[in-house]
Chain A
Amino acid sequence: MKQYSYFPGCSAESTGLGYGLSVQAVAGPLELELLELEDWNCCGSTPYGSLDEEESLVVAARNLALAEKKGLDLVTPCSSCYVTLADANLYLIEHPRMLARVNEALAVAKLEYHGHIRVRHIVEVMVNDVTPEFIAARIKTKLNGLKVAPYYGCQLVRPRYGFDDAENPTSLDSLVTCLGAEVVSFPMKARCCGGSLSLSEEGKVLGLMERILRSATQSGAQCLVTPCPLCQTNLDAYQGQVNAAFKTSYKLPVLFITQLIGLALGLEAKTLGLDTNIVSPAGVLDYIYNPVSYMTNR
């Protein structure tokens, strides 16, 4: 078992519940021991940095200091937590004066950070530590060439941390293909879905979601997979709003990458939180479990 400090992020128990559940479910079979960081706080995300940039470094640093005590890499499934924590980490390592100020503040809680932690995204861990070959060897349910559009979103690959290309990434593709699914050509795979502005500026970002859903649908995808809780919520929960605004009729299931991996590992849909998906993934399940009837009933 490989050990990691685990940072679920706030959404893992609410809007991204299906992500939180499916990460936990696949960890065992993939021999990952995810030790939840004790009493972690919200990373601060974009909003905190937008209200007070310097203070947001301290918010992130409390988590980094907690993780440093354990001495394990800090792994998160959330792309926003990933960028926030990794960015703060890099900034503090490169700016010793700021780190000293942050440590003065952390000292009131007997915490200290030295810059010794690596912040990693679960996708990067799956690709580099677990490896697609290892996953492929553990497949129990064949995905029968299910056509999948791998949607990376932004913050998994940008700003660049070097583990994948910033505009034409392929890491998620390798996870999808190792499961026996087929990756469709998907030019919009790393374009923005609108992020949290779906709440504050819905009218201005629905078009961004529409072009992603259109690109995936036109490529013949049966579902979209993503490693980001906010992308999943936008493309899944707002799909109805997109259809209303653009007079379209998209009905594209949006799965977390760990839900798809879990299905291939033979785990039950409920264990993977597939009941929390708003656009029904029934077509995907039917295709996997009853490929013959799926073909004849079409």
Chain B
Amino acid sequence: MKSFLDEVKATPGGEHINACIQCGTCTGTCPMAGAMEYPPRKIISMIRAGMRDKVLASSSMWFCLSCYMCTTRCPRGVKPTEIAHALESLASQHGYRVGGTSTPALYRNFVASMRSNGRVHELGMMVRFYLSIIPELVRHPVATIKIMPLGLKLFSHRRLPLLPTRIKGREELARILGKFREVRGEA
């Protein structure tokens, strides 16, 4: 069976993980390290130690902002940003549902909107996202109430059109993606 390290190394951008020397530049650079249970340097060492469940069930990588500062500064060319994306992608595909962050729900709704329209309808995506995290919103009623004026400000400045833009090639795109899953399954 493939080791967890091999699994990560096989992802786009995960190839260089073995070059890591655990210097911690990534963690020192990351603007979200404080929000992560396992900051970048630590999570890289956990991947190499084969701690698959602990890593994929954690919320840490979902706090990555894709600012690429760690990737820029890494003296070994490891690309921790791509590793975070790889971990998110592996966790999603293997059905890990993590607590402590709403970001997976946001991303799922973004992709759902994109798949159905061919483009993202931001208002629809936001509404579905907030509906999907109702239990979370109930726990933070004050924060929830504060979201409303923000949405209205965007709406009144023409920045949240009611209707989605749909592309002509929606079905074509679905067929392309279907075919890709088929091809990938064979490989």
Residues of A at the B interface (CB closer than 8 Å) are: 10-11, 13-17, 39-42, 44-55, 57-59, 62, 83, 91, 95, 98, 101-102, 104-109, 111, 154-155, 158-160, 166-167, 191-192, 194-197, 199-205, 208, 233, 237-238, 240-241, 244, 275-278
Contacts and interface: CB of A to CB of B under 8 A. Distances in A.
B18 interface: no
Top-9 shortest CB links A-B: A158-B68, A192-B67, A105-B180, A47-B107, A50-B88, A47-B110, A53-B89, A200-B102, A154-B67
Nearest to B92: A51
Which secondary structure dominates where chain A touches chain B?
helix
Contacts of B105: 200
A237 B172 contact: no
A108 B183 CA distance: 12
Contact of B175 (A108, A159, A237): A108
Contacts of A241: 146, 150
Contacts of A10: 114, 119-122, 165
A46 B89 contact: no
A177 to B, nearest CB: 25
B99 to A, nearest CB: 13
11 contacts: A10-B122, A39-B118, A46-B85, A49-B89, A51-B88, A54-B184, A58-B176, A95-B12, A101-B184, A195-B66, A276-B159
Nearest to B169: A39
A59 B177 contact: yes
B20 interface: no
Given A41-B169, A201-B101, A51 B12 contact: no
Interface residues of B, number: 67
Interface string B95-129: 00000011101111011001000111111001001
Given A42-B120, A50-B88, A197-B103, A109 B32 contact: no
Contacts, number: 204
Contacts of B143: 202-203
B71 interface: yes
B45 interface: no
Interface of B: 11-13, 31-32, 35, 62-63, 65-69, 71-72, 79, 81, 85-86, 88-89, 92-93, 101-103, 105-108, 110-111, 114, 118-123, 126, 129, 143, 146, 149-150, 153-154, 157-161, 165, 167-169, 172-173, 175-177, 179-181, 183-184, 187
A48 B177 contact: no
Contacts of B67: 154, 158, 191-192, 195
Which secondary structure dominates where chain B touches chain A?
helix
Given A10-B122, A158-B67, A15 B154 contact: yes
B108 A51 contact: yes
B177 A105 contact: yes
Given A10-B120, A192-B31, A50 B157 contact: no
Contacts of B181: 55
Contacts of B71: 158-159
A160 B72 CA distance: 7
A202 B146 CA distance: 11
Contacts of B108: 47, 51
Given A49-B85, A98-B12, A166-B72, 13 more contacts: A14-B122, A45-B110, A47-B108, A53-B89, A101-B184, A104-B179, A154-B67, A159-B79, A196-B110, A200-B106, A200-B129, A203-B143, A278-B154
